[in-house]
Structure 1
């Protein structure tokens, strides 16, 4: 973390010295350069020190001092830049600037004084750096990245007794089958999952299984550390193999080269059937060092790898056409059984403790290691009263820090944090902003990381693309758990495990990284850098905490008193870069925001604001403006002054049981909006006569997502020309004025990387150019009223995953031809009023997972061939007539019996009533009547 803070301030210092050198006094410039040089000298050592600080209190203090001085340097730079900006803004000519600079010499001397103070502190810190550098160079006990405080706790995963294991049998059975059956050539089985899930425990039970022992001639278990050395790994393997056979270990292996060691292993294993376990593999490089020592023969040999990383698991298994077993958390039932076994020695939980235990168990998130450790602590509190148990529940975060019985579990989880690359640590700790169980939108998180300055642009990639790579790394490392997946396979929404959240909350408090108001009677740190408000902000003296505030996020703040406190806080927050006021009861744009001249990210989503002031132009550094869900329909010309703006989201949806034609309202196009050449996302802009918006859009060549509404037939020639100019476009939404025609035949060269296409309005003809876009993943056709079967034009798109037709086709039959739609997973047929038959020929849509049919009132039966689609998981019939549903309860039921979830759903009394078909059939046979599952309109999106 300290390294990241230093790297960030070094970037700022570089820019600072280049841009403002004429405004600096000579001695101040030299002192700034001294601070820069000292910080540069420390960066290499900080990477090690950051991970080792937990094991060395003195080192921890030194790292804190470096981090603090980096933050203070950043603050001074920002203060000076703010001063310069105000000088330039207030002074129209050189004379005025000169006079203004004289009047503000006091401010300049104050800044110079702060720089001198920082230099003085930097001198003392440098002495500590030299001392620790010498200590490190002479082979001290400092741990390297990922050593988890210098104590290896992974062996603790093997201490569970057989009677304590829950939910392991099915996983064990699957793994045993994979390794003793199947092809005779060498195969690798990778078991992947987050730390504490029980990967080692599971594989150890497989390794010790009698069938496995008898099946293989040679067995070896090798634990791989994060900081592994290839030669030590190979030597360990040799020792185990030779010891097992009671053979003397080859002489001089301590001096052998890696290649010689690999040759010994390969010769030893040749013509033998072996099973090797490589436990806790942390990198692809570690596997690369291992695999060349293994003979690839037809002996039925197997290798099992455990890892926390999905890319490692895939890399290990793919070359041998092996298997990846993703270990999941225990179910609620399994978790409860394991918890009671440990906490109550197998007895049932006392009724007066049930609620508290359920809350504690929820935080364990199905993690066996956590359940065993925490229930073990709670078992010592059997004689305590309910209040003591509740205190343990609410103070679990501090218990993780201070309870020796939980140290082992904490260190195992902490390994994943300590082993993070330096650039991922602040990104992961940033998640401590979010409340418990919060669903984290990846687009939002990417924007916040970028605005905070956590992301460096790589050559050939935008900062947003780099940030998305960071997110993928956290998911791959099992630190973020996907909740909702995009059609292209990327993660849209995820959640952080409660215990990892507790760890980063603790780290954030310790390093003053994020301050949250969720805690009652919270103690504010002396300097607040990032503030996350959960529910309310009651402190009446918050103003004094805003001077160094660079980020403020709000969650669930709905009362006027808290809103007023936030506005007071913003008055002193001159350094603010990220401001998210989602859901606040604001009717007017807060004028105080206009003084936040460093602001890069502004989110006013789901507020009641109706108008944006022209003075928004003062926010010259603004990159992201999110006005989704507000009542703003017109933007001021001042927006055009925001030349760094990269994302502009201005729209709100119309709530209805079924999607109306005007389901989304955007904003009227601005004359001259084409000057915003940095824009990547523009949603939803309304075309209107005389705006020349389409000509303007053609100038915005950085656009990746674009949505335009209220198009007219006469706009289509210019529209097509503009789209051809947007070669980076990935998502395109076009909607015509109701009862007008969207004629897209003039588009001959569509954006080559287009993935998502949303067309709304009557189409003159199906746009044939769609057939040429090989990257298309999602196609929505709404109110298109096509007479030709649109499937014939979509069937050969190699990456098409999601199709939605809403009043898009007026024909009687849709036919999915044999062998077509090989990637299709989601199909939604909505209000196709003339449709009578859907036919799925053999070999078509083999990967289809979800099918929705709604208000297709003339459809005579379920799709022909649906019984052949074995991958189907969910089928939903919304507001379909009883003549269609009735056969499903009888003769047609067998055709859908293989599908895990089949529902027929109706909109009644302002909500959806869901009837699971399997239960309906069972209830009719038994004569029972069961009430439907009732869901809201919003919940339907998750069905």
Structure 2
């Protein structure tokens, strides 16, 4: 982390010198000295960062380097602000000459003030550099690549978790053990690799050790070997080959170094390895047509059994401790290492002392650092952080801004990272694509747990395990990376660089904390006093780059924001703001402006001054049980918007008669996502010409005014990069060009009122996963033909009022997982052939007539029940009194499920008791 801070400052210094700002000569020399000194430190720091926890003296030295880097960054940012203000001073009229003279004097003063600050930094750098030279001989640092792949970063055997887990009876390990043994002994003479992958502390080594000691495995193979990747080893094998166990592989490079020594002589040899990295597991097994076992956290019941075995030695949990124990287990998140470590601490406490148990429950974060019995777990989990590449460490630490159990939206966190400057540009990629790669790396390393998946398979929403969050919170505090206000009786640091407010924010010294703040985020802040504190804080901010006030009930745009020259990311999502001030033009560095779910419907023309803007999100969803025709309200198109050449995402643009906005949008060559509403029939030619020019477009949303046709018949060469298409409005005929869009993943057709069967134009799209029809078709029959819609997973049919029959032929939609049918009042029964959809998981009926539901709701007695009997979840749902009533389809099933729920809850209580 210190290395990343230094690298970031080094980039700024280099830019400062390259721009040849008007600095006095001495200042340039000092800046060059500091730049050179920082360069010498970076390589050392990238290794030392991972070792600082083990050496207090090294930790102090790194802190000093980090602090001076932060101060240098602040001086540079201050200098840029001063120069900008002086260069933009304007007197006008006969005072022009006097204005220029005054500005020149002020510029001179600015340069000499900066020179003084730089001299101070140089002196500190010289002292730190001297300390570095003295320290180098004492601290023997290996080469930078030494920590990149082979396990133990702290000098501690990374397999200590296995020994720790073996202290008690294993839980939930039988199923994975059987599966892995089956893979090992299957009849195939070729070498095969079986990879076990999962986050640290899941018990991968314990599982593999159990397989290693299994009698079936020992009998099947003539030779066994247990290898750590840092060991040298010699292999011998007999006619039935060797079973080779390789523990804790940290990189594909490490695997590449091993695989050439493995026997591959058609003797049925097997290799089983453990890793925390999904790509390592996949790569190792794919080469040999092997297998990957992704180890999952323990279930709630398995967690409870393991917890009680260790904490109460198999005895029941005392009644007064049940709720505390449930909460502790919830934070363990099914991680065996965490459960056992905390159980070991609790087992030493008196069961009669409620306060003692509750104290641990409330202070697990601090206990991770201060309790010797939890130290092993902390070190194991810390390995994953220390093994991160330098560019990922600040990105991962930034996740500590989010409250516990918060679902992290990837689009938002990516934009925040970009605003902070964490994302390094790569040739041939947008900075957003690079940031998405960072997300993928964190998921690959099992540091982010996916919660929601996009249609294209990418992760949309994820969360971080509670204990990893505690670790990065601790790191953030130590390194003064981030401060959160959710801790009781917290001691505020002298300087705050990033502040995350959870709930109320009432601090009498808020102005003092804003002077060096570069990031401010708010979660769940709604009370009036907290809002006043936030507004007061913003008045003292000069260096803020990221400001996220989502959900704060602001009614007026805060004027203090307009003075934030360095601001790159601004989110006022879900506020009650109705207009932007014209002085928004002051935010010259703004790249991301998020005004979703506000009441803003018109933007000032001064928005055109924001030439760095890349994301402009301004729209409001109309609430309701079903989407109305005008389900989203956008902002009025304005003249000159084509000048915003860097825009990549813009929504939602509202057209008006006589507007030339379509011609201007066509010149925005970087657009990846755009949505346009209130289109008219006469816009057809201009609209098609516009879209044809946007060849980088990935997502397109179009909506006509309700009485007009959405005319898309003039398109000849649509953007082949399109992945998501949302069309709302009457179509005279189906746009046949859609058939050529092989990258399409999602298609929404709403209120199209087509007379021709739309399926014929969509059925051969090779990557279509998600298809939704709303009042799309006026025919009586839809037939999904054999062999068509090969990738489709979700299908929704809504308000197809004339529809009477749906037919699914054999081998159509073989991967369909979810089918939604709603408001199709004339539909005579469930789709014919639905019984052949073996991958179906969910079937939902919304507001369907009683005569449709009754033949299904009688269970086995129903005439059509057999068709859907194999589907795990079937529901019928109605909108009643302002909310959805959801029922399992079969009445008997409802009673049974309700009864099971009650029994399960009672049984859970009994289990604890």
TM-score by length of 2: 0.95
Shift, 1:583, TM fit? 0.8
The superposition leaves residues 775-808 of structure 1 with CA deviations (integer Å, 9 ceiling, x where unpaired) of 1100000001111111111111111110011111
Written as runs of structure 1 = structure 2, the 5 A alignment for 1:69-148 is 69-91=68-90, 96-103=99-106, 105-135=108-138, 144=147, 147-148=152-153
**1:766 corresponds to which residue?**
734
**1:367 corresponds to which residue?**
335
Among 259, 267, 270, which residue is 1:291 paired with?
259
**2:300 corresponds to which residue?**
332
Is the 8 Å Cα contact of residues 487 and 778 (structure 1) preserved in structure 2?
yes
Shift, 1:389, TM fit? 1.3
Determine whether 1:587 maps to 2:555: yes
Written as runs of structure 1 = structure 2, the 5 A alignment for 1:427-442 is 427-442=395-410
State the distance in 1 between where 2:782 and 2:307 align.
Answer: 53
The superposition leaves residues 237-268 of structure 1 with CA deviations (integer Å, 9 ceiling, x where unpaired) of x2xxxxxxxxxxxxxxxxxxxxxxxxxx3xx3
Determine whether 1:842 maps to 2:814: no
- 1:494–1:60 CA distance, 2 compared to 1 (3 A): same
State the distance in 2 between where 1:813 and 1:331 align.
Answer: 45
**1:669 corresponds to which residue?**
637
Among 594, 606, 628, which residue is 1:638 paired with?
606
What secondary structure sits across from 1:484 in the alignment?
strand
State the distance in 2 between where 1:659 and 1:401 align.
Answer: 50
- 1:139–1:770 CA distance, 2 compared to 1 (3 A): closer
Shift, 1:493, TM fit? 0.4
State the distance in 2 between where 1:91 and 1:30 align.
Answer: 32
Shift, 1:301, TM fit? 2.8
Shift, 1:595, TM fit? 0.5
- Of stretches 171-180 and 632-641 in structure 1, the one that deviates more from structure 2 is 171-180
**2:893 corresponds to which residue?**
922
Determine whether 1:203 maps to 2:174: no
Written as runs of structure 1 = structure 2, the 5 A alignment for 1:615-764 is 615-764=583-732
Among 428, 451, 456, which residue is 2:424 paired with?
456
Among 510, 522, 529, which residue is 1:542 paired with?
510
Shift, 1:32, TM fit? 1.3
- 1:926–1:587 CA distance, 2 compared to 1 (3 A): closer
- 1:325–1:547 CA distance, 2 compared to 1 (3 A): same
Among 175, 182, 186, which residue is 1:181 paired with?
186
Among 290, 298, 310, which residue is 2:278 paired with?
310
**2:65 corresponds to which residue?**
66
Count of aligned positions: 892
Shift, 1:98, TM fit? 3.6
**1:156 corresponds to which residue?**
161
- Of stretches 390-399 and 641-650 in structure 1, the one that deviates more from structure 2 is 390-399
What secondary structure sits across from 2:800 in the alignment?
coil
Is the 8 Å Cα contact of residues 177 and 210 (structure 2) preserved in structure 1?
yes
Shift, 1:688, TM fit? 0.7
What secondary structure sits across from 1:280 in the alignment?
strand
State the distance in 2 between where 1:158 and 1:913 align.
Answer: 50
Shift, 1:102, TM fit? 1.5
Shift, 1:65, TM fit? 0.8
Shift, 1:302, TM fit? 2.1
- 1:143–1:927 CA distance, 2 compared to 1 (3 A): closer
State the distance in 2 between where 1:482 and 1:142 align.
Answer: 30
State the distance in 1 between where 2:389 and 2:900 align.
Answer: 57
**2:823 corresponds to which residue?**
855
Shift, 1:621, TM fit? 0.4
Is the 8 Å Cα contact of residues 143 and 150 (structure 1) preserved in structure 2?
no
Is the 8 Å Cα contact of residues 52 and 142 (structure 1) preserved in structure 2?
no
**1:494 corresponds to which residue?**
462
State the distance in 2 between where 1:163 and 1:131 align.
Answer: 47
State the distance in 2 between where 1:134 and 1:589 align.
Answer: 56
Determine whether 1:891 maps to 2:863: yes
Is the 8 Å Cα contact of residues 777 and 800 (structure 2) preserved in structure 1?
yes
State the distance in 1 between where 2:378 and 2:420 align.
Answer: 29
What secondary structure sits across from 2:88 in the alignment?
helix
- 1:280–1:666 CA distance, 2 compared to 1 (3 A): same
What secondary structure sits across from 2:249 in the alignment?
coil
Among 738, 750, 763, which residue is 1:782 paired with?
750
- Of stretches 563-572 and 817-826 in structure 1, the one that deviates more from structure 2 is 817-826
State the distance in 2 between where 1:926 and 1:691 align.
Answer: 58
Is the 8 Å Cα contact of residues 318 and 351 (structure 2) preserved in structure 1?
no
State the distance in 1 between where 2:44 and 2:217 align.
Answer: 47
What secondary structure sits across from 1:213 in the alignment?
helix
The superposition leaves residues 138-179 of structure 1 with CA deviations (integer Å, 9 ceiling, x where unpaired) of 879998466343222423313434852111111212222222
- Of stretches 295-304 and 907-916 in structure 1, the one that deviates more from structure 2 is 295-304
Among 413, 422, 426, which residue is 2:394 paired with?
426
**1:9 corresponds to which residue?**
9
Shift, 1:887, TM fit? 2.1
- 1:142–1:304 CA distance, 2 compared to 1 (3 A): closer
**2:288 corresponds to which residue?**
320
Shift, 1:103, TM fit? 4.1
What secondary structure sits across from 2:293 in the alignment?
strand
State the distance in 2 between where 1:147 and 1:325 align.
Answer: 23
State the distance in 2 between where 1:516 and 1:297 align.
Answer: 58
Shift, 1:522, TM fit? 1.5
The superposition leaves residues 31-80 of structure 1 with CA deviations (integer Å, 9 ceiling, x where unpaired) of 11111110011111111111111111111111111111111000000001
- 1:170–1:94 CA distance, 2 compared to 1 (3 A): farther
- 1:137–1:383 CA distance, 2 compared to 1 (3 A): closer
Is the 8 Å Cα contact of residues 153 and 408 (structure 1) preserved in structure 2?
no
CA RMSD in angstroms comes to 2.0
Determine whether 1:912 maps to 2:912: no
Shift, 1:500, TM fit? 0.2
Structure 1: runs of 5 or more not aligned: 239-264, 932-943
Is the 8 Å Cα contact of residues 727 and 752 (structure 1) preserved in structure 2?
yes
State the distance in 1 between where 2:213 and 2:260 align.
Answer: 26
**1:50 corresponds to which residue?**
49
Shift, 1:214, TM fit? 1.2
Is the 8 Å Cα contact of residues 732 and 758 (structure 1) preserved in structure 2?
yes
Is the 8 Å Cα contact of residues 148 and 414 (structure 1) preserved in structure 2?
no
State the distance in 2 between where 1:478 and 1:365 align.
Answer: 14
Shift, 1:423, TM fit? 0.2
What secondary structure sits across from 1:759 in the alignment?
strand
**1:936 corresponds to which residue?**
none
Shift, 1:354, TM fit? 1.3
- 1:112–1:730 CA distance, 2 compared to 1 (3 A): same
State the distance in 2 between where 1:340 and 1:94 align.
Answer: 83
The superposition leaves residues 180-200 of structure 1 with CA deviations (integer Å, 9 ceiling, x where unpaired) of 235443322211110011111
Shift, 1:895, TM fit? 2.2
State the distance in 2 between where 1:114 and 1:31 align.
Answer: 10
The superposition leaves residues 451-491 of structure 1 with CA deviations (integer Å, 9 ceiling, x where unpaired) of 10001110000111000000000000000000000000111
Is the 8 Å Cα contact of residues 53 and 60 (structure 1) preserved in structure 2?
yes
- 1:194–1:165 CA distance, 2 compared to 1 (3 A): same
Is the 8 Å Cα contact of residues 148 and 411 (structure 1) preserved in structure 2?
no
The superposition leaves residues 903-923 of structure 1 with CA deviations (integer Å, 9 ceiling, x where unpaired) of 1111112111111236x3335
Shift, 1:104, TM fit? 6.0
Shift, 1:512, TM fit? 0.3
Shift, 1:892, TM fit? 2.4
- 1:81–1:928 CA distance, 2 compared to 1 (3 A): closer
- 1:605–1:928 CA distance, 2 compared to 1 (3 A): closer
The superposition leaves residues 857-915 of structure 1 with CA deviations (integer Å, 9 ceiling, x where unpaired) of 11111122212111111111111112222222323223222222111111112111111
- 1:115–1:314 CA distance, 2 compared to 1 (3 A): same
Shift, 1:929, TM fit? 12
State the distance in 2 between where 1:477 and 1:434 align.
Answer: 20
